Structure 1
Amino acid sequence: MDIKEALLKEYSKAQVLKIAAYINNNPGRFRNLMELFLGEDYRLTQRAAWVLSHCADQHPALLLPYLPELIYNLQKTKLAAVKRNTVRVLQNIPIPEELQGILANICFEYLITNEPVAIKVFAMTVLANLAQAQPDLKNELRLLLEDQLPYASPAFVSRASKLLLVLKKTPSVL
């Protein structure tokens, strides 16, 4: 299967699942997908994002060699689909210490700007995960979430409420 051709042929859940099944746990095929995902063609990038999400759900280890590229790509992309799918998969991946600071900054930026709610929800989960390793983030995240709760969407309130319970149970540095 030519992944690029398959992405351009049809944009449906069935096609995404078919491409993800083809890639399976094959690092070479996944590398091909990553090249498309990190490329310049916004249409291919957006379509590859959905496949990337499915591949990462099934085989998260495939992402590990690409973590620096994924995180740095978040700094430059304007595409909501790319942000959403990238931050979504990063919720379930252990982030190396050398990338935690930059990822935390990106996710805090998503929370304080006018991003779609799905991006915010995934970003807060990434931050809560990072706060387990970097306890000084807990208070900052807790305050930010509590500040936004009165004005937030139901999805934001639901996720934030669950995360606030977790953040309050574990002691912070301060």
Structure 2
Amino acid sequence: MDLRKEILRENSREHTLRIADWVSVDARRVTQLVQVFLHDEYRVVQRAAWIISYVAHKSPALIVPHLPAMVQRMDDAGIPIAVKRNVTRVLQFLPIPPDLHGPVMHHCFALLENPKETTAVRAFSMTVLANLAQEYPDIRNEIRIILEDQLTQKNGPGFVTRAKKVLKML
């Protein structure tokens, strides 16, 4: 299967799940998907991101080796929102290798503090940080201060709900 062509062929949940099923049984296919996700044009990246989120749930062990490249991509200026959203979404559910804890915290704090960032990216970032706070209790207070400040500002219901949940976790 030409993965890129297949990704562009149709944009539906059923098609996405079909591709995710095909990809999630072979590490080489996952590598190919991650390369498309990290380096293709916006529309392809957006669709590949959706597939990656399903593959991460279905075969998390196949995604973990690609986390360094995914986290590193977060350093690039002007990355598509689909990359930020799906990298942070995946990081919520996968074990993050210890050598990535620092860069992940850096990115998630920056995303969480940015009021111009989308609600989904900020919500996923706060969950990733709350998960890391289990291992690094020193960051709990910083997360709490940011969230309490953000709750005094105008934020959507999705952000408020997630923030209250994370504050309880902390």
TM-score, normalised on structure 1? 0.92
Amino acid corresponding to residue 136 of structure 1 in structure 2:
D
- Structure 2: tracts of 5 or more residues without a match: none
- Distance in 2 separating the partners of 1:86 and 1:49: 8
How far the C-alpha of 1:43 sits from its partner, in A, is 2.2
Amino acid corresponding to residue 143 of structure 2 in structure 1:
L
Deviates more, 1:92-101 or 1:124-133: 92-101
- Distance in 1 separating the partners of 2:97 and 2:135: 10
Match of 1:157 in 2: 160
Deviations 1:40-90 (A, max 9, x none): 422221111110011101111111111110101112152111111110011
- Distance in 2 separating the partners of 1:97 and 1:22: 30
- Is the partner of 1:75 in helix, strand or coil? coil
1:1-174 matches, within 5 Å, as 1-76=1-76, 77-113=78-114, 114-151=116-153, 152-167=155-170
- Is the partner of 2:79 in helix, strand or coil? coil
- Residues 122 and 159 in structure 2, CA contact (< 8 A), matched pair in contact too: yes
Deviations 1:123-162 (A, max 9, x none): 0000001111111110000110011112221111111111
Deviations 1:83-130 (A, max 9, x none): 111100110111122111111110111111111000000000000011
How far the C-alpha of 1:2 sits from its partner, in A, is 1.7
- Structure 1: tracts of 5 or more residues without a match: 168-174
Q: Number of paired residues?
A: 167
Amino acid corresponding to residue 84 of structure 1 in structure 2:
R
- Distance in 1 separating the partners of 2:100 and 2:29: 25
Runs of 4+ in 1 over 4 A off after TM superposition: none
How far the C-alpha of 1:25 sits from its partner, in A, is 2.4
TM-score, normalised on structure 2? 0.94
